[in-house]
Structure 1
């Protein structure tokens, strides 16, 4: 399959199952697959500059947003050293080996072919045989790519690259994981679930309710933001009637 490369198309929404205490109005914990856990772990590798750019300077907790803005306003010609890469501060590179690190945009970008030097530009158009003309600008499509079926959607299957045969991400896909409200992640088991219920002092099991939620672009940004300022991330993001609260 030939295609053009360089852009990021929207990833499918992920899903996980919440256990909600309806009396307390909080999420006790969630049942999640590999795709969700890989996404949560990838937040730890997110550069601060990228986080500010994704969340927006004014919605970024703390002073990182103001620091980001100061770099934007600085007169590069007058104050930066020759050759200094300001883009590395405002748009820091994200390792391509980190899965789901770059949150998908709400819409895909317009496909473009490779330029005259052969360097790949923004992408989306594909063809079964190479050398065909791009439907957008008629330039040749020469970059060979491999199609890999995603393991997203909470199926628990690992995403595997057809090119390398190696699983992507951080955790095994044959395991279901428990994610607590403060984003503590552990392998799920019946015993651990009972222990958590005892920890939360749940006495009325009839007040417990399962809720399946989807994690797309909007929810991913909300989780990123809440993880920087809250100990009740899942409750803040997925229970709309609860106003987000900051950690003490």
Structure 2
């Protein structure tokens, strides 16, 4: 089962109170990469009560409040409000609240030659069954094959420590030296750096998702300015 909490080691510049970078395990990097699998509707659902800017939260709320009498009989509001991940999802830390809608599925369009209807069927690499409307056997479009299996879950290799910059740029730790990093960040004194271990749970996961859409100092915003 995926974890609900991940630890990070932050390197903080005490004078400017900013996060220089974080030393992270694969769990945190898997969580970051998994953001790109989130449907827009799921992102709005998670952030609409978090002060998200723009009009999409109001649009989301209007769909939520709209009576089912105005929705077509072969549609459902949850297709928009709680969309499923459209690609095979990796097993990643559960750092965003949900009702299971973040689990990876493979979805496809199906066509029934009996009643000439096309409809959306959510499946996980399984054969199409019967038509939703006439119950006759259907043909599945397109046909997906199982992806190659991996001995490790998630997206990245686990036997590596990753460097995550304040703007969420990710790279393996070994490709750059500590001194080089400090020079690139214009940090002159090693004594001005503080190490701090923080835990990232669902609260921080939502805050990080929001900050990643609004800021280029995500780690600083979430772990220093949000407390």
The verdict on a shared fold, with TM-score over 0.5 as the criterion, is yes
Deviations 1:87-126 (A, max 9, x none): 11001113562333753559xxxxxxxxxxxxxxxxxxxx
Tell me the matched-pair count. Answer: 176
Which residue does the alignment assign to 2:81?
90
Counterpart selection for 2:53 from 28, 37, 61: 61
Structure 1 residues without counterparts, runs of 5 or longer:
1-8, 107-163
CA contact (8 A) 2:163 2:172 kept: yes
Are 1:48 and 1:64, in contact at CA under 8 Å, matched by a contact in 2? no
Deviation of 1:13 after TM superposition, in Å, equals 1.2
Are 2:190 and 1:199 aligned?
no
User: Could you tell me the TM-score, scaled by structure 2's length?
Assistant: 0.69
2:91 counterpart residue number: 99
Deviations 1:191-244 (A, max 9, x none): 3433221111111111001111111111111111111111101001111xx369
1:21 and 2:13 are equivalent in the alignment: yes
Find the aligned partners of 1:40 and 1:58 in 2 and give their Cα distance: 19
Q: RMSD of the TM alignment (CA)?
A: 2.4
Distance 1:193 1:170 in 2: 26
- The verdict on how the C-alpha distance between 1:12 and 1:72 changes in structure 2, with shifts beyond 3 A counting, is closer
The separation in 1 between residues aligned to 2:226 and 2:204, in whole angstroms, is 15
Structure with more strand by fraction: 2
What are the ranges of 5 or more consecutive residues in structure 2 without an aligned counterpart?
A: 99-148
TM-score (norm 1): 0.64
